[in-house]
Amino acid sequence: MQKTMKVLTIGDAMITMNPKETGPLRYVSTFERKVGGAELNFAIGCARLGLDTTWVSRLGDDEFGRVIYNFARGEGVQMSHVEFVEGHPTSVNFKEIREDGSGKTFYYRTNSPVLTFTKEQFTKELFAGIDVFHISGVFMAIDPQNVLLIQHLVKLAKEWGVTVSFDPNLRLKLWTIEEAREAFTLLWPYIDIVLTGLDEIELLLGYSDQGSLATFSDQHHIQDFVIKDGANGSLLYSEGKWVTAEAFPVTPIDTVGAGDGFDAAYIYASMQNLPASERLRVANGAGALVTTVSGDNEGLPYLAELNRFIKNESAIER
């Protein structure tokens, strides 16, 4: 009997208010309520691909917290490590979309519920039976204490021999590039899989050429160093060589969540022990599909849908 593969991730989630009108936010009066958050998007992406996925988080003991909890549970995410806390309202963000398609996001996550986490709450038993622990820079950017918590958790994960995957997911509205570099420097020795954007890694390391990235990866004993490059496809440095995969041609509607979908699919493919080129192809397919649907996580594909897409098969609708 095949072992059920288990994934664990930790992070904040938010209510996302999407404008139903274009223009400056001060003139917008109607919004559509959605659920978002990088780590939760990743968890949903993994669950839709059939992985046993646990999300660790805190939510405000309020109506928005219930919305997020019920939504994530309905997606099949394991919620045994999600708690409601008083005095810390559930995080919210508002999106602004201008007439030319450009936009901004305004975050309201001060006093986030995840600030109630303490290192003492977590022991290595959290990682019993877990195969992959996925972390994101977004969670660390919320507050300096989260950096210390993640450092604690990756050390516990390695005690169990758990694979650690990491998406820097830079949010320079939440912290400076200097703060991010300092925090990540302490993490690199514990990371097995890096999932990063090309521009992002250039900002973090000061270079993005393949030779320098290969040297960096070898120095830190990183198993898979993955570069996401949007419409240009993706690259992977693993076992001493680079592998590339072309992007799938789609007409993007909304790129939000595409990186999270890519991450989830790459982890899925890695856990299936697929060859390097196929891992990239599966991840590229998921990322492409996400961009064809508006919303933070609405486009995250189910496994059958993803398989049809990458095999260029048409579903029978009637």
Q: Which amino acids are annotated catalytic?
A: 260
C-alpha 239/C-alpha 93 separation (Å) is 41
Torsion of CA 119, 121, 127, 130, to 10 degrees: -100
Residue-wise DSSP of 292-314: TSSSSSTTPPPHHHHHHHHTTPP
C-alpha 233/C-alpha 218 separation (Å) is 23
Cα–Cα separations (whole angstroms), residue 282 to 42, 51, 200, 234, 259: 15, 15, 22, 11, 13
Contact 215, 205 (CB under 8 A): no
C-alpha 178/C-alpha 71 separation (Å) is 35
Classify the C-alpha dihedral 31-35-37-38 as positive or negative.
negative
